[in-house]
A = this chain, B = another copy of it.
Amino acid sequence: MESLFDRHSGLLQDALKANETRGFWSPFPEVPSGKIYGETARADAGADFNALLGRPFVLPGHPESRRVGAEVSPWGPELGIGYPAADSAALLAASASAAAEWAASAPETRVGICLEILTRLNRASFLLGNAVMHTTGQAFPMAFQAGGPHAQDRGLEAVAVAYAEMTRAPREALWEKPQGKAAPIVLEKHWRVVPRGIALVIGCNTFPTWNSYPGLFASLATGNTVIVKPHPAAVLPLALTVRAAREVLAEAGFDPNVLLLAADEAGAEVTAGLVRAPEVAIIDFTGSNAFGDWIRANAGEALVFTEEAGVNSIVVAATGDFAGMCANIAFSLSLYSGQMCTAPQDIFVPVDGIETDEGRKSLDEVAAGIAAAVDALLADPARAVAVCGAIANPATLDRVAAARHLGRIVRDSAPLPEGRSATPLILAVDAAETSAHEEERFGPISFIVAVRDAEAGIAVAAELARRKGAITAALYDTDEGRIARAADEFARAGANLSVNLTGGIYVNQSAAFSDYHVTGANPAGNASLTDAAFIAGRFRLAMWRRPRAA
């Protein structure tokens, strides 16, 4: 019988090559098209999604002492889904009991299973799109892309790196040491991959699959059992993921408890108990710096990988395409209402204005140009809803309201006709007068920050990235020397820099197999998706050796 590893070996080889060359590649089409996913895929997924609502979520064989679930779509309806829940001790016991067989399986077996899971998740992308849309508030096209194919890409990238790392050293070697004229000493040596233990993946509200898949699949492929702890407001996308994975695990003859769902409810989270458990040997976390600090302080000996918060900046120094720049920035500010960890917050502009293809523009003209581009982008309400989506967490609306007094309002935020929504609030401040822009203000809040000149803007933005963390940075400039210096400064600050983006590519975007997401070199996180450091420590190599039999 064809093994799962053999079945997907072409996919794996392509992913390995893509990871090495880092050009564009994606095996999972990002277009929610019936031509690709099947003409009835959209309708079927809608029906499947509706069938999940208001019912218990079925996870055969999963530990369960009660049902939990209080998801409410940012687009309106309560989901009413009850997930199986168990206390942390029961989850840890079930995970431990599934561990030995999983750890003893061959890396190829585990990699084959992971690839099969990802392939099935890809086929379920429309359903996952619905689930992500109604838990995160992303509009459907983005929920499909980011929650489906792009998340699957990130998962596949992690599996490919895991395979590369597990197979970097040979499994056997003959060690033959010369002894002058005497016979050599000959040892046969055998190595095996030993996983660390139980891995905990803590998901976030805004990108439940995209941010969880790398850690989940990295730990699974390297032989650890995994407990996925979703955000209480975004359980469904990970519950569907766990269900698909458990089906593949069971079909392959493994205890499905190799992968568990730690569903809980706001105010009664199981997270702390899991983080503190000595059996938990790896933690992948996406969320706030404050909870990241708590995890580091309480995680004991576990390896901890995080993606936390930061303040992303754009420096506007000069441009040869003022309209293109304003439109590009407008889209970056508007997309999913600034709820991306890659979205810019601060736009540093020289107080004396900039040179452009439309002549010199004052600081106010730059601010007005960006604001007008946002207005133009969002002029059509249907398009505005499709770009901005809805606000995942009601607290973000409060944050937008509270932010209005932090500077001069260049563009005010407003609700859209659908969902819990807020268009971009743009404030103007002077870096010499305030540090309001230096705090992360999650959501559709941005600042046009006056700085002395372009060099000051680069220096201030890089320093802010170093101090507060930043995942992305952007620069608009026409001076090659300054671009090179900015590349140096942002590299030292650990922020990936995009220069002169116009048209259909945005600073927010991070592509699997090419962009490493998060450098790990500033407080925005220590994980980098997906470099060797994110993978190599998830397993160890153990050897046995003996003299070669005569």
Question: Judging by beta carbons under 8 Å apart, are B531 and A543 in contact?
Answer: no
- Residues on B with C-beta less than 8 A from A502 are 547
Number of copies: 2
User: Given A497-B543, A543-B496, are A20 and B189 neighbors across the interface (CB < 8 Å)?
Assistant: no
Question: Judging by beta carbons under 8 Å apart, are B494 and A185 in contact?
Answer: no
Question: Judging by beta carbons under 8 Å apart, are A498 and B20 in contact?
Answer: no
User: Given A165-B532, A514-B173, are A500 and B23 neighbors across the interface (CB < 8 Å)?
Assistant: no
Question: Judging by beta carbons under 8 Å apart, are A179 and B542 in contact?
Answer: no
Report the Cα distance A500→B511, complex, angstroms.
52
Question: Judging by beta carbons under 8 Å apart, are B194 and A494 in contact?
Answer: yes
A426-472 residues at the B interface, CB under 8 angstroms = none
A175 at the interface (CB under 8 A from B): yes
Question: Judging by beta carbons under 8 Å apart, are A175 and B22 in contact?
Answer: yes
Q: Interface 1/0s, chain A 16-27, versus B by CB < 8 A?
A: 000011111000
Report the Cα distance A537→B546, complex, angstroms.
33
Q: Interface 1/0s, chain A 507-523, versus B by CB < 8 A?
A: 00001001110011100
For chain A, give the interface size range.
Answer: 35 or more
**Which of these, B168, B176, B505, contacts A532 with CB under 8 Å?**
B168
Report the Cα distance A145→B494, complex, angstroms.
42
A144 at the interface (CB under 8 A from B): no
Question: Judging by beta carbons under 8 Å apart, are A519 and B542 in contact?
Answer: yes
A401 at the interface (CB under 8 A from B): no
A177 at the interface (CB under 8 A from B): yes
A414 at the interface (CB under 8 A from B): no
Question: Judging by beta carbons under 8 Å apart, are A544 and B173 in contact?
Answer: no
Q: Please list the 9 inter-chain residue pairs (A to B) with the smallest Cβ-Cβ separation, ordered nearest first.
A: A499-B546, A491-B542, A533-B536, A497-B544, A521-B540, A532-B536, A533-B537, A22-B173, A487-B544
29 residue pairs of the A-B complex, CB under 8 angstroms, read A20-B168, A21-B173, A22-B170, A23-B173, A23-B174, A23-B176, A104-B488, A173-B514, A185-B503, A194-B492, A194-B494, A490-B542, A494-B542, A496-B543, A496-B544, A497-B545, A500-B547, A515-B543, A516-B541, A519-B541, A519-B542, A520-B540, A521-B540, A531-B540, A531-B541, A532-B532, A533-B537, A536-B536, A537-B537
